[in-house]
Amino acid sequence: MIEIEKHPLEPFLPAKAKLLMLGSFPPQKKRWSMDFYYPNLNNDMWRIFGVLFFNDKDYFLNPTRKAFCRERIIDFLNEKGIALFDTASSVRRLQDNASDKFLEVVEATDIAAMLRWLPECKAIVTTGQKATDTLRQQLDVEEPKVGDYSEFVFEKRAMRLYRMPSSSRAYPLALDKKAAAYRIMYQDLQLLP
């Protein structure tokens, strides 16, 4: 019997969030460099943010370069209005790694409830196929191509679902190409000049 893992983090939901970023589920805690989202050093999410908003891929690394700076990330997310969580609240990890293909979703996150907590949210971004599939089981939205979006309506609120490249280094795309895809989304959402 494979153990069921409950999500180890609380949703990060700034009151004025305009964007909800959803991955699938965090990697195992033994791989973390900090106690927050996208915690392992071999994930490029915080490097993508560093490139886009500060022209420095290492902006969110702490001085030792062995972990990301959680406080700096949280301050940035609050300022920009970016919420974070995952589409799965509990999973079975079928292999000893963070790969989505070896995650079995036991309990999906209630995305509708989360959106009700975020009345100013106008867009969701999923950062992997498992996250996209899990979300689409709950919301009536067409699957966008990677790097693009689909429009949908949630309780009379016009919204967009962006499907961005995975920030995992296992995803075969260079950091600058990942950042270019995310740049378009953040410019569309007027979060980046």
User: Residue 149: its pLDDT value, please?
Assistant: 97
The pLDDT score that the predictor gives to residue 2 is 84
Please count the CA atoms within 13 angstroms of the CA of 143 that sit on its side-chain side.
13
Determine phi and psi for 5, rounding to 5 degrees.
-100, 125
Q: Is 170 helix (H, G, I), strand (E, B) or coil?
A: coil
Q: What is the pLDDT of residue 101?
A: 82
Judge whether 33 and 66 are in contact, CB under 8 Å.
Answer: yes
Give the per-residue pLDDT at 166.
87
Provide the pLDDT for residue 98.
Answer: 66
- Profile the chain (193 residues) by mean pLDDT over runs of 10 residues: 91 96 90 90 94 97 91 97 96 81 91 96 94 95 95 97 89 89 94 86
Q: What is the pLDDT of residue 4?
A: 92
pTM of structure = 0.93
